[in-house]
A and B are shown apart, each in its own frame.
Chain A
Amino acid sequence: MRALSIMRTPYSGFVLFSILLLLLPFTVANDYYFNVLIIIGINSIIVIGLDLLVGYTGQISLGHAAFYGLGAYITGILSARWAWPPIAGLLVALVIVGILAFLIGIPTLKLHGHYLAMATLGLGIIVFILFQELNFLTGGPSGLVGIAPMSLFGFTFDSDLSYYYLVCVFLLATLLLSINVVRSRVGRALRAIHGSEIAASVLGVNVSRFKVGIFVLSTLYAVTAGWLYAHYIAFLSPSSFGFMFSIKLITMVVIGSLGSLWGAIFGAALLTSLPEFLVVFEHYETSVFGLILILVMIFMPRGLLRGLEDLVRKLISMLRKDLKERSLTS
């Protein structure tokens, strides 16, 4: 409980989290777990961005895998076909996807609820089909190979440990920027839009501008994650960026707890490592995943992190009551 409330004051939570990330490698014995940690970090970056859009602003996206994929493919293609350095790949991807997301975001974010869900889902599928069909660029379904390993400013990140720390730097940077955004005029405007678009606009909040703005920002996070992924895995196949992955991302946000950045990281960590736990179930993996989704939504609609927090609080108040009664009787 204490630990949870420390996490509430963002900056001390941030420092604690940084220390945790720094020390984590010393507890990891095996390369395979490094791999999982790196993927968790990459997914966390996307999910933090998605949470800003979905959890804080209340706008759903079922197509975020596409922007992740665009980040990965743009840097991958530049690297594999024209030997561009990774940093150039990142910048080009950020600019292209930023402009694209801006142009798409204007008409898309006028939609609400299920319509917005279907529009973003459609976008995701269209981009996925482009990954598959633009053979000459993407390598099509058989995949894109020959992506150079990550090197920045003359340093090559070729060990799992160094890549882990690289991902951590980006994760912490994204997290810090997001904490700042959330606790600012912008963050309040976003949550106001979530609460009531009409009330927000009556107070002068330019609703469509802020919605498109946060949409673009969240796609830029996804692009950064895609860039980290491409230079880590060095092989891209469209199936990593399909509809199911978009669903998985939104599930991470929802299960982790909508509108909580720590929840986003928690959700990403849980769902990324879940398949590792579910290996015990083998063939049952998909159905168990579906079942968990349903159960969490029914019993902890505020997400697991908040759900657990509520549970702990309830336990504590029960204990207190119990103690009080005992002291009264004695």
Chain B
Amino acid sequence: MWGPDTGPPRHEYNNMTFEQQILQYLITGVTVGSIYALIGMGFNIIYNATEIINFAQGEFVMLGGLLTVSGMQLLHLPVPFAAILAIIGVSIVGIALDRAAIRPLKDASPITLIIITIGASIFIRGVASLIWGKEPYLIPAFSGEEPIPFFGAVIQPQSLWVMGVALIVVLSLRQFFGRTLTGKAMLATAVQPRAAKLVGIDASYMVLLSFALSGAVGAAAGIVIGPISMVQYDMGVMLGLKGFCAAIIGGIGHPWGVVFGGITLGIVESLGAGLISSGYKDAIAFVILLLMLFFRPQGVLGKSKGDRV
């Protein structure tokens, strides 16, 4: 199954001490975890506005990566421009998803909404396989591939990009939701839809905006991991689910929770794969997910919901 690997080639681990190996796993874990956190944030944005779990979130990630590849190969754009174009493109896909599939279904049951976003994800994946085929593509690293030594372990420059982008995204989202009028209106729509309507907030516009924003965040995730792992039409399935796990672990809807959840998940996976067995790596995320759902469904950082009937 798919999984990014940011560490040095396997044989190099043999030259490290145990402590250095652990450090290396931690670095890998934080990098991968940042990606999970980014994807989880995309889930959060839509969930906050609509209480819908968007099963097509992983497809936003895939599209972000593949559109960047096309921007570079077909339009011969440098990475930053191709990336911006891809982010805009995926936002438009997000808007289209809302208009075509979510909006026609007012007051639908959760089951219907789950099915429809799953249908959308299958559809997008199918279209992507028609456009880009089934082979993997590589985005060149943003700033070289010379590993940076770090206490006996190494950090790939791209890892710093991943962590940096995740940090910037989470900080700007915080600013957006906390400081700007639009951001506050989006939160208000989610918490008090009726009150929001009374004060003149256009709820359907806010939902649209959340899909666009979520598409942009998802695309960013797909772009920054491009150089670390290949981008491919079906990469979104696992990544999307892992992002959701990150959101649940941290507490869905909680902005710092998802960062915490993503990085915890990344580290546990990386340590598990390195020290126990790489075959079970993907199972780890879901075992944690189940334990969380069974014992603390509100997440580590989330508050429990009120029990008024």
Q: Are A and B a genuine interacting pair, yes or no?
A: yes
Out of A125, A286, A287, A301, which one reaches B282, CB within 8 Å? Answer: A125
Inter-chain contact A254/B115, CB cutoff 8 Å:
yes
Looking across the interface, which residue of chain B has its beta carbon closest to that of A291? B123
Out of A107, A108, A119, A294, which one reaches B123, CB within 8 Å? Answer: A294
Cα A292 to Cα B279 with chains together (Å): 35
Looking across the interface, which residue of chain B has its beta carbon closest to that of A130? B283
User: Residues 266-309 of chain B: 1 if any A CB is under 8 Å from the residue's CB, otherwise 0?
Assistant: 00000000000101101100110110011001000000000001
Inter-chain contact B309/A198, CB cutoff 8 Å:
yes
Interface residues on B, range: 35 or more
When distances are taken between beta carbons in the complex, the residues of chain B under 8 Å from A6 are: none
What is the minimal beta-carbon distance from A24 to any residue of chain B, in angstroms?
Answer: 30
Inter-chain contact B286/A126, CB cutoff 8 Å:
yes
- Within 129-167 of A, Cβ neighbours of B (below 8 Å) are at 129-130, 132-133
Inter-chain contact B124/A290, CB cutoff 8 Å:
yes
Contact of A250 with B by CB under 8 A: yes
Out of A108, A110, A125, A297, which one reaches B116, CB within 8 Å? Answer: A297
Cα A306 to Cα B107 with chains together (Å): 19
Out of A58, A118, A122, A286, which one reaches B126, CB within 8 Å? Answer: A286
Inter-chain contact B122/A289, CB cutoff 8 Å:
yes
When distances are taken between beta carbons in the complex, the residues of chain B under 8 Å from A283 are: 129-130
Out of B129, B290, B293, which one reaches A286, CB within 8 Å? Answer: B129
Inter-chain contact A294/B290, CB cutoff 8 Å:
no
When distances are taken between beta carbons in the complex, the residues of chain A under 8 Å from B237 are: 243
Contact of B223 with A by CB under 8 A: no
Contact of B78 with A by CB under 8 A: no
Cα A297 to Cα B115 with chains together (Å): 8
Cα A238 to Cα B211 with chains together (Å): 35
Cα A111 to Cα B296 with chains together (Å): 11
Out of A115, A125, A132, A286, which one reaches B122, CB within 8 Å? Answer: A286
Inter-chain contact A129/B116, CB cutoff 8 Å:
no
Looking across the interface, which residue of chain A has its beta carbon closest to that of B278? A133
Given A119-B293, A247-B118, A284-B130, A298 and B101 contact (CB-CB distance below 8 Å):
yes
Inter-chain contact B294/A293, CB cutoff 8 Å:
no
Out of A118, A243, A294, which one reaches B119, CB within 8 Å? Answer: A294
Given A111-B293, A123-B290, A301 and B108 contact (CB-CB distance below 8 Å):
yes
Looking across the interface, which residue of chain A has its beta carbon closest to that of B108? A301
Looking across the interface, which residue of chain B has its beta carbon closest to that of A289? B122
- Within 229-284 of B, Cβ neighbours of A (below 8 Å) are at 237, 241, 244-245, 248, 277, 279-280, 282-283
Contact of B110 with A by CB under 8 A: yes
Contact of A60 with B by CB under 8 A: yes
What is the minimal beta-carbon distance from B126 to any residue of chain A, in angstroms?
Answer: 3
What is the minimal beta-carbon distance from B276 to any residue of chain A, in angstroms?
Answer: 11
Contact of B6 with A by CB under 8 A: no
When distances are taken between beta carbons in the complex, the residues of chain B under 8 Å from A294 are: 100-101, 116, 119-120, 123
- Within 72-123 of B, Cβ neighbours of A (below 8 Å) are at 100-101, 104-105, 108, 110-112, 114-116, 118-123
What is the minimal beta-carbon distance from A314 to any residue of chain B, in angstroms?
Answer: 20
When distances are taken between beta carbons in the complex, the residues of chain A under 8 Å from B170 are: none
What is the minimal beta-carbon distance from B239 to any residue of chain A, in angstroms?
Answer: 13
Given A60-B110, A297-B115, A301-B112, A114 and B53 contact (CB-CB distance below 8 Å):
yes
Out of B118, B124, B297, which one reaches A293, CB within 8 Å? Answer: B118
Out of B53, B101, B105, B125, which one reaches A118, CB within 8 Å? Answer: B53
Contact of B127 with A by CB under 8 A: yes
Given A126-B286, A294-B119, A254 and B104 contact (CB-CB distance below 8 Å):
no
Looking across the interface, which residue of chain B has its beta carbon closest to that of A133? B279
Inter-chain contact A129/B280, CB cutoff 8 Å:
yes
Contact of A75 with B by CB under 8 A: no
Out of A107, A117, A290, which one reaches B120, CB within 8 Å? Answer: A290
What is the minimal beta-carbon distance from B207 to any residue of chain A, in angstroms?
Answer: 16
Out of A60, A284, A288, A298, which one reaches B104, CB within 8 Å? Answer: A298
When distances are taken between beta carbons in the complex, the residues of chain A under 8 Å from B121 are: 290
Inter-chain contact A284/B111, CB cutoff 8 Å:
no
What is the minimal beta-carbon distance from A226 to any residue of chain B, in angstroms?
Answer: 21
Contact of A90 with B by CB under 8 A: no
What is the minimal beta-carbon distance from A302 to any residue of chain B, in angstroms?
Answer: 10
Looking across the interface, which residue of chain B has its beta carbon closest to that of A59? B111
Inter-chain contact A111/B116, CB cutoff 8 Å:
no
Inter-chain contact B283/A125, CB cutoff 8 Å:
yes
Contact of A121 with B by CB under 8 A: yes
Looking across the interface, which residue of chain A has its beta carbon closest to that of B283? A129
Inter-chain contact B118/A287, CB cutoff 8 Å:
no
- Within 169-217 of A, Cβ neighbours of B (below 8 Å) are at 198
Looking across the interface, which residue of chain B has its beta carbon closest to that of A251? B115
When distances are taken between beta carbons in the complex, the residues of chain B under 8 Å from A123 are: 286, 290
Cα A138 to Cα B297 with chains together (Å): 33
Inter-chain contact B283/A287, CB cutoff 8 Å:
no
When distances are taken between beta carbons in the complex, the residues of chain B under 8 Å from A58 are: 111
When distances are taken between beta carbons in the complex, the residues of chain B under 8 Å from A121 are: 241
Residues of B within 8 A of A (CB): 1, 53, 100-101, 104-105, 108, 110-112, 114-116, 118-127, 129-130, 237, 241, 244-245, 248, 277, 279-280, 282-283, 286-287, 289-290, 293-294, 297, 309
| Nearest 10 pairs of A and B residues by beta carbon | A287-B126, A290-B123, A293-B119, A286-B126, A290-B122, A122-B286, A107-B294, A113-B110, A294-B119, A133-B279
> What are 7 pairs between A and B in contact, CB < 8 Å?
A114-B110, A117-B53, A118-B248, A129-B283, A284-B130, A289-B126, A293-B118
